[in-house]
């Protein structure tokens, strides 16, 4: 655990004051790493503590997503090697209209593009994270080869080393990787991805607008973000997809490829949480090979 005698690196209120230039008047812990702080101008900000690479990656990711001018993300008010200070999103509820707008906004975000598959946000580290798992942002120009080498296989190997997946089961996923050029659908340019777009990272404000938080942003395949929404659910998902399809229609057969794109997050969850997710990953692999 990080230890220091400097209160500014132990106290979220002090961190908020230092990084915003305002006085903190109230602090409310929300978790071990997250605190809501009210400033003397009445604004409420979220103060998040983390390791240097994680903070740097999240701050760079939020700024990169914001730079697309499409999706709503909390503004970054400051960051340092231990703290990230962002706007607080006012709590609200999802509605069908907001979900439709989210679909259109995601299409615009993806269309903003990235220099390469695996490209990190400007200023972001190559060694980043997705949730609590490490994530390497290594650029590549061929999505099937890049996805296999830098998203699927690293977590598969870790799951085998941990004893969560057997060697015979791993061979099934490896066969999917070998067949990826024929399974991936038409070539797509690198999209600007949120990268960890599960339901918990989509917040809804009082006006029904969606806000995206906690990105693992990088260049990738646009179907990957949508597959994450399918995996863990999203309010009014059908309307999200309608909005997306209206703005930027997906290539034929995209529904058949959802499981293929879910292999990555399922294997990450296998490494983090165990055998239940391994069963889901193996099911997705079998379905892909049956196509």
Block means of pLDDT (10 residues each) for the chain, length 291 residues? 46 95 94 94 95 94 98 96 95 94 98 98 91 90 97 97 97 98 97 96 94 97 97 93 98 97 97 96 95 81
Task: Return the structure tokens found at 188.
Answer: 């797509």
Q: Please provide residue 259's backbone torsions phi and psi, each rounded to the nearest 5 degrees.
A: -60, -35
Q: Quote the pLDDT of residue 55.
A: 94
Q: Please provide residue 186's backbone torsions phi and psi, each rounded to the nearest 5 degrees.
A: -60, 150
Q: Quote the pLDDT of residue 291.
A: 81
Q: Quote the pLDDT of residue 4.
A: 39
148 contact partners, CB below 8 Å, separation of at least 6: 177, 180
* End-to-end CA separation in angstroms for the chain: 47
6 contact partners, CB below 8 Å, separation of at least 6: none
Q: Quote the pLDDT of residue 9.
A: 58
Q: Quote the pLDDT of residue 232.
A: 86
The burial of 206, by beta-carbon neighbours within 10 Å (0-12 exposed, 13-18 middle, 19 or more buried), is given as exposed
Q: What is the pTM of this model?
A: 0.93
Which tens digit of pLDDT belongs to each residue from 74-104?
Answer: 999 999 999 999 999 988 999 999 999 999 9
Task: Return the structure tokens found at 7.
Answer: 């209160």
Domains plus CATH for the chain?
A: 7-87 (3.30.200.20), 96-289 (3.90.1200.10)
Q: Which residues of 167-198 are buried (b: 16+ CB within 10 A; e: fewer)?
A: eebbebbbebbebbeebbbeebebbbbbbbbb
Task: Return the structure tokens found at 111.
Answer: 């269309």
Task: Return the structure tokens found at 207.
Answer: 């006006």
Within 10 Å of residue 217's Cβ, how many Cβ atoms? 28
d(CA 150, CA 121): 17
Residue the block writes with tokens 């009445």? 42
CB 228 within 8 A of CB 118: no
Q: Please provide residue 47's backbone torsions phi and psi, each rounded to the nearest 5 degrees.
A: -115, 120
Which tens digit of pLDDT belongs to each residue from 202-251?
Answer: 999 999 999 999 999 999 999 999 999 999 889 999 999 999 999 999 99
Q: Tell me 257's DSSP state.
A: G
Q: Quote the pLDDT of residue 233.
A: 87
11 contact partners, CB below 8 Å, separation of at least 6: none
Q: Quote the pLDDT of residue 10.
A: 77
């Amino acid at each position: 655990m990080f230890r220091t005698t400097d209160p500014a690196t132990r106290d979220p209120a002090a961190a908020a004051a230092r990084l915003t230039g305002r006085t903190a008047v109230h602090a409310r812990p929300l978790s071990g790493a997250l605190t809501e702080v009210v400033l003397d101008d009445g604004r409420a900000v979220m103060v998040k503590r983390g390791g240097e690479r994680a903070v740097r990656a999240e701050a760079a990711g939020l700024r990169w997503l914001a730079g697309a001018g499409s999706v709503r993300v909390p503004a970054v008010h400051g960051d340092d090697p231990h703290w990230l200070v962002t706007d607080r999103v006012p709590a609200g509820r999802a509605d069908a209209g907001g979900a439709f707008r989210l679909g259109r906004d995601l299409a615009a975000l993806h269309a903003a593009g990235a220099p390469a598959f695996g490209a990190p946000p400007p200023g972001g580290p190559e060694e980043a994270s997705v949730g609590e798992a490490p994530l390497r942002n290594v650029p590549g120009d061929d999505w099937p080869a890049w996805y296999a080498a830098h998203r699927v296989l690293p977590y598969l190997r870790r799951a085998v080393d941990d004893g969560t997946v057997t060697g015979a089961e791993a061979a099934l996923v490896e066969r999917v990787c070998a067949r990826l050029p024929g399974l991936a659908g038409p070539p797509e340019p690198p999209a600007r991805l949120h990268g960890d777009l599960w339901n918990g990272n989509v917040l809804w404000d009082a006006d029904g607008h969606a806000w995206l938080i906690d990105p693992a942003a990088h260049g990738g395949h646009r179907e990957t973000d949508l597959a994450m929404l399918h995996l863990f659910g999203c309010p009014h998902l059908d309307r999200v997809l309608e909005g997306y399809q209206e703005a930027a229609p997906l290539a034929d057969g995209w529904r058949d490829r959802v499981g293929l794109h879910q292999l990555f997050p399922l294997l990450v969850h296998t490494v983090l949480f165990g055998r239940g997710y391994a069963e889901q990953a193996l099911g997705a692999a079998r379905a892909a090979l049956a196509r």
